[in-house]
Amino acid sequence: MKLLLVEDDPLLGDGLRAALDKAGFAVTWVRDGKTALEVLRAGEFAVMVLDIGLPVVSGMEVLRELRSTNNSLPILMLTARDTTRDKVISLDRGADDYLVKTADMEELIARLRALIRRSGHGAGGVLSIGDLTLDLVAHTVTISDKAIAVSGREFAVLRALMESVGRVLTRGQLETSLYGWSHNVDSNAVEVHIHNLRLKLGADTIKTVRGVGYTIARSAS
C-alpha cells in the first residue's frame, strides 16, 4: 500500500518512515507541501500522513488544494498542534483523521489501515497478477503458490510495479519507491533489482519500455 508521508522534521520523518515501512507500507517521504503536491500529481497513493506546519506550502494549503479538485485521497493530519480548534478546522477542511505527534505508533498505523479500508484501497493487503502474488502483510512473494525469496529492495520494486499494473514506471519513480526523495541512489540500483527479479520470476515478467521505464502487464504470470 503506497503511503505519502509529508513531514519536515528529519528525525521524526525518518522514524515514521522506518516504522511505516516495517508495517507494510510503501512510503514516499517528502518535506514540504509544494513537493507533496507535485508527487501527488505524478502518482497514486492509498493514504497520506500530512503535517500542518510545513515550509513553502502549509499542510492546510495542501489539504485545501486536494479537496478543491475533488481528490478523495484519505488524509491523516499528524501535527504538534493539539487544540480542539486545530482538529475541528482540519476535519472541516476535509481531513479524514487527526493525531498529535505524541500519539502511539500502533494507534497511527491502526488508524491508517482503517482509513484505507473505508476508502476501498488495499483490501486484504494482497496484490495478485496472474499467478504472481505479493502479500504486503506477510512480506512474501509467490508464483503458483510457490514461495520466491526476494530481498527487501526487490520486494519494494516489485510492489511499486504491481501497484501500478499496466502503467510504465520510470527509473526515477522506482527510485522514489525505494529510497524516498532525500537519498542519493546508485546510478544502476534499479537495473540491478530488475535483473534479479527477472531471474527469480521469469525473464518476461517485467517488461522494459525502451527510453521510458518498466512495467508489469495485467496478465503477468
Tell which wins on pLDDT, 34 or 46.
34
With cut-offs at 50, 70 and 90, classify the pLDDT of residue 38.
Answer: very high
Domains belonging to the chain, first-starting first, are 2-119 (3.40.50.2300), 124-216 (1.10.10.10)
25 φ, ψ (degrees, to nearest 5): -90, 150
Binning pLDDT at 50, 70 and 90, where does residue 195 land?
A: very high
Comparing C-alpha atoms, which of 9, 15, 91, 1 is closest to residue 53?
A: 9
Q: Encode pLDDT of 107-153 as tens digits.
A: 898 888 888 777 765 545 678 888 899 887 677 899 988 999 998 88
If you average pLDDT over each of 91-105, 142-156, 192-206, which comes out highest?
192-206
For the chain, how are helix, strand and coil distributed in percent, rounded to 5? 45, 20, 35
Share of the chain above pLDDT 90, in %: 42
* pLDDT attached to residue 83: 74
Residues 6+ apart with CB under 8 A from 188: none
Give 125 or 56, the one with higher predicted confidence: 56
In this prediction, residue 182 has a pLDDT band, given cuts at 50, 70 and 90, of: very low
State yes or no: pLDDT of 50 exceeds 60: yes
Buried b (16+ CB within 10 A) or exposed e, 47-56: bbbbbbebee
- Pick from 30-39, 124-133, 210-219: least confident: 124-133
Higher pLDDT, residue 29 or 43: 29
